[in-house]
Homo-oligomer: A and B are copies of this chain.
Amino acid sequence: MSTWLDEIKWDEKGLLPAIAQDHKTGKILMFAWMNQQALQLTVEQGHAVYWSRSRNKLWHKGEESGHQQIINDIRLDCDGDVILLSVEQKGGIACHTGRERCFYRQLVDEQWQDTDPVLKDLKNIYSK
């Protein structure tokens, strides 16, 4: 096992929170989880690979949608238990709803308000 992977503190399920940030705009695109294999593949292949907790398998981001996240930079936090990816977002769409980012709901007057437009219909994203 590589040393840089050993320095990471995986949680009790062997997972690590991962934040993806657009390398140009600085916008937070999404949040997901990685296991060790996902992070290793991310580094080796140069695009984000997550661990899908709902599907219980590796999730090569963009494998269906084409919306890959090309790795620009990888950072670890002080406690060694969270990872930050700076990425180039292919297609300009990170969210499965067809929006640029997953954080499209803003708290305004105690209500969640959608602030971001849907850039592409779901049927056009996943019809391949």
Contacts and interface: CB of A to CB of B under 8 A. Distances in A.
A103 interface: yes
User: How many subunits of this chain does the assembly comprise?
Assistant: 2
B103 A84 contact: yes
B76 A105 contact: yes
Interface string A96-121: 11010011111100111000000000
Contacts of A74: 106-107
A89 to B, nearest CB: 15
16 contacts: A3-B110, A4-B110, A17-B31, A19-B19, A19-B31, A26-B26, A28-B28, A30-B77, A74-B106, A74-B107, A75-B106, A78-B95, A78-B96, A78-B102, A79-B102, A82-B102
